[in-house]
Amino acid sequence: MTLDALPLDASAMIRSVRGDGPFRRRLLELGLLPGTAISRTGQAPLGDPLSFRVRGAVLCLRRSEAACIELDQP
Amino acid sequence: MSDAADCHAPPTAKREGAPCIALIGNPNAGKSTLFNAITGGSAQVGNYVGTTVDRQSGVMRLSDIGPVNVLDIPGIWSFAARSPEERIAIEAALGLDGRPAPDLLVLVTDAPRLQRSLYLVLQALELEVPVVVALNLVDEARDQGRLPDINNLSEALGVPVVATVARTGEGLDALKAAISQQLQHPRTVPPPHRWSEALLADAAELIPLLPSRFSGPAARQRALALWLLLSIDDAAALSDQPDLPRDAALRIRERATTAGRDLVAEIVGQRYAWIDARFSSFVNTADREGAALSDRIDRVLLHPVSGSIVFLLVMALVFQALFSWSAPAVDAVGAGTSTLQGWVQQGADWVELRAPLGGATPIFGDLLVNGILGGVGSVVEFVPQIALLFLFIAILEDSGYLARAAHLMDRLLRIAGLPGKAFVPLLSGFACAVPAIAATRTMPRFRDRLVTMAVIPLTSCSARLPVYALMIGALFPEFLPNTAVPARPLALFGMYAFSTVVTLVAALILGKTVMPDVATPDVIELPPYRLPHLRTVVWAVWARVADFLREAGRVILVATVVLWALLSFPRYSPEELLAQSPELQAQVTAETDLEALTRPLAIEKSYAGWIGHTIEPVIEPLGFDWQIGIGLVGAFAAREVFVATMGVVYGVGDDVDENSLTLREKMLQEKRVDGTPRYTVLTALSLMVFFAVAFQCLSTLAVLKRESGGWKWAGFVVGYITVLAWVLSFVVFQGGRWLGWG
């Protein structure tokens, strides 16, 4: 499963982060590393972007960006 | 920018005079509030060389060592350099930008989101410079039951850690004491985390190739080598690095990839590995996670229905304030300018009456009244709008709502290839482009800023309204032919819709062509809601107003004087003009005001008149003549001046507004050479389209130059918009004629 499919209020562990070099590096530096817990907190009224809580902060990711993050099946 | 309150000193190893410290931290960690709190009112805003990134500096007074210069470095997530902001951060922190390095780095960390802040702290420690950690927002962490253990943290990092709440002042004395201690007895420690053997080998390979400005202790060289490995890749970033280390870094990365290693994940991961291993000894993670109150507020403010309603209300409030509420202040400035102009004019008249200096006094008086005072007036007139917009932006940003607004609008603006943060600047453009372009500073990425400020002049600002009103009022029928549909409101609405579409399409095209997207998308963080901090808000407003007056104001003033000269020279006396025109001579009676009678001729004979005649062949296909051409020149001062200029051109005087019936009648009576009416609905439409698009505002040009960092981008914007305006008007006018409307 990828992060964009994570249901509201559910949480999971990150397995891997794919994507373009700079974008991937940014996500990793924000602490979205394999093994990190992440939960979905909401979405914008137009359905995109989505918001996630990770390491105590709330980050917004577009659906296409969230699709770069692979999750471990719970 | 005053160099007194800055880390400016001869670039020698040992600086004379006051020591310098730099504040570094994540966005939203309260760094600006802390900066304002410790520097008091002494802060100054400048720019980093060659950029428009704010360079704030101020002075902090310490009881034992006296004044200390404080540099506020832009908020960053990491030292790795992918954006101008990040590059500036590492260069300023290490003195790689040609200025001496700060004596001490103060890491402003975010106590409730400590893990991510620690990532930046570790990067700073790798550089082996003296560090003090300000653990900020401890009140928020306390409320969440996640207060970090300061002693454990300080011991693990090996540097002083001080708990602070910048907005209340809590802990600031302890912070100052720690800074003072570190300045008097500087102590550097090796970073607490360890690198893998493989990474150390990669770094060792790169170190001999580092440019000389990276020289320093061995640990710092290793950190910079790793920094290069993390920052460089195939993208254009860091393309100005010397080829040698750049090529080597690319080669090392490629070799690692071939070997199945992932350098980025290794470097980032080994920092976080230390954080994750130690984190439970800093914070009791068994406590419940997260900011519950913010989550509850977000359930309402990000809800599809209630969230959208609140968003529309907030944006309507901002727009209303900019569009209407600023009017009394703007009018007051205008009235003040007029009064002052009246006095100076009287003074000039008085001098002329008593000591006529060969005609020099009226010219000088006119320059003073209409050139200089008029210019100062038109600079100051923008201050209420800029102050109001930045007041709202500062409140929205400090409260945490601005990030939500960007989040809400992201999907919609993506259609135009822009991020959600472009919404507030674009919306503000419909009131006035000048504060709107200044507001692009709230956008973190320079590329997005450039695209947004390039299309803001296309939004239909309030100065276009008088032109629309004059044209629609004079030439449009009350109802659409054979219907009961009111034509005039429809035409006005149509102009706004047109402007919106043109703006978004232009952004889309510019974003795909001249400004292709750079690879790092901005990740928006939704910070917890907080009460705005009065001092931070006031400071933000003042900083922007002062910057506008200082930087853009000069350009506007000079340009206004130039424009005044175009409309006023060469000068002829009313008698000279009368002698040239038998037509006017015939109209002279005993009580004729010669000056008023000859004014249209005076403006025709001016440089502006010459320009109007010269550009006539170019604007003829749009349905315009040289008289409109003069109006276009006048409109460059500000679009609303077009109405007054047309008043002068048509001999009605400049004391007209868009509702003036005499001006409308005069326009309706104007004939072409062939006897057909000069102004038709089609001419009006073409002219309105031209005004909706064309770049006709010197103040916008001045602020565009300021915010884009030079004339190059500003010149490009003027050029593309002028061509676009001509083409669209041409299509409207010639298309309309072809359809038989003209």
Is the minimum CB–CB distance between B524 and chain A shorter than 8 Å?
A: yes
Whose tokens are 């800074």? That residue is B179
Smallest CA-to-CA distance from B681 within B490, B399, B451, B449 is with: B490
Residues B208 and B87 in one domain: no
Domain assignment of residue B102, given as a range? 3-184
Q: Which of B161, B184, B207 is the last residue of a domain?
A: B184
Contacts with B308 from chain A: Cβ below 8 Å = 45
Residues B132 and B201 in one domain: no
Smallest CA-to-CA distance from B654 within B180, B338, B321 is with: B338
Tens digit of pLDDT for each residue in B538-566? 888 888 888 888 877 888 888 888 888 88
Residues B31 and B138 in one domain: yes
Residues B152 and B254 in one domain: no
Domain CATH code at residue A42: 2.30.30.90
SS3 call for A51: strand
For residue B11, what pLDDT is reported?
39
For residue B7, what pLDDT is reported?
52
For residue B5, what pLDDT is reported?
41
Looking at residues B474-490, what average pLDDT do you find? 83
Name the minimum distance, in Å, from the CA of A6 to any CA of chain B. 18
Contacts with A49 from chain B: Cβ below 8 Å = 407, 410-411, 524
CA Rg value for chain B: 31
Name the minimum distance, in Å, from the CA of A59 to any CA of chain B. 4
Q: In this prediction, what percent of chain B has a pLDDT beyond 90? A: 26
Work out the widest C-alpha separation in chain A, in whole angstroms: 30
B 76-115 residues with CB below 8 A of A? 77-78, 80, 82, 112-115
Q: What domain count does chain A have?
A: 1
Residues B168 and B52 in one domain: yes
- Res. B12 pLDDT band, cuts 50 70 90: very low
A 1-20 residues with CB below 8 A of B? 20
Tell me if A60 and B526 make a contact (CB, 8 A cut-off).
yes
Q: Which of B184, B216, B240 is the last residue of a domain?
A: B184
Looking at residue B185, what DSSP letter applies?
A: S
Pairing, β B54-62 against β B66-72: antiparallel
Residues B505 and B442 in one domain: no
Measured in residues, chain B has a length of: 742
pLDDT exceeds 50 at position B421: yes
ipTM: 0.94
Is the minimum CB–CB distance between A74 and chain B shorter than 8 Å?
A: no
Smallest CA-to-CA distance from B568 within B606, B540, B600 is with: B606
Tens digit of pLDDT for each residue in B587-630? 777 777 777 777 778 888 888 888 888 888 898 888 888 888 88
Residues B332 and B403 in one domain: yes
Q: Which of B218, B243, B267 is the last residue of a domain?
A: B267
Tell me if B268 and A59 make a contact (CB, 8 A cut-off).
no
Optimal mutation site among B407, B408, B409, B412, interface A, most CBs of chain A within 10 A: B407
Q: What domain count does chain B have?
A: 4
In a domain, B335, yes or no: yes
Contacts with B115 from chain A: Cβ below 8 Å = 31, 55-56
Shortest CB distance from A22 goes to which of B119, B407, B520?
Answer: B520
pLDDT exceeds 70 at position A45: yes
Smallest CA-to-CA distance from B74 within B102, B98, B48 is with: B48
Residues B180 and B204 in one domain: no
Helices (H), A1-74: 21-29, 63-66
- Res. B293 pLDDT band, cuts 50 70 90: confident
Residues B202 and B82 in one domain: no
Shortest CB distance from B521 goes to which of A23, A29, A51?
Answer: A23
For residue B106, what pLDDT is reported?
96
In a domain, B92, yes or no: yes
In a domain, B190, yes or no: no
Looking at residues B514-532, what average pLDDT do you find? 78
B 140-159 residues with CB below 8 A of A? 146
- The residue of chain A with its CA nearest to that of B79 is A29
Residues B142 and B238 in one domain: no
Shortest CB distance from A55 goes to which of B116, B237, B523?
Answer: B116
Optimal mutation site among B76, B146, B228, B268, interface A, most CBs of chain A within 10 A: B268
Domain assignment of residue A36, given as a range? 3-71
Looking at per-residue pLDDT, the higher value among B596 and B28 belongs to B28
Tens digit of pLDDT for each residue in B155-205? 999 999 999 998 888 999 999 999 999 999 988 888 899 999 999 999 999
SS3 call for B407: helix
Smallest CA-to-CA distance from B721 within B696, B685, B699 is with: B696
In a domain, B531, yes or no: no
Residues B393 and B376 in one domain: yes
Residues B694 and B648 in one domain: yes
B424 close to B405: Cβ distance less than 8 angstroms: yes
Is the minimum CB–CB distance between B408 and chain A shorter than 8 Å?
A: yes
Q: Would you tell me how many other CB atoms lie within 10 Å of the CB of residue B464? A: 25
In a domain, B73, yes or no: yes
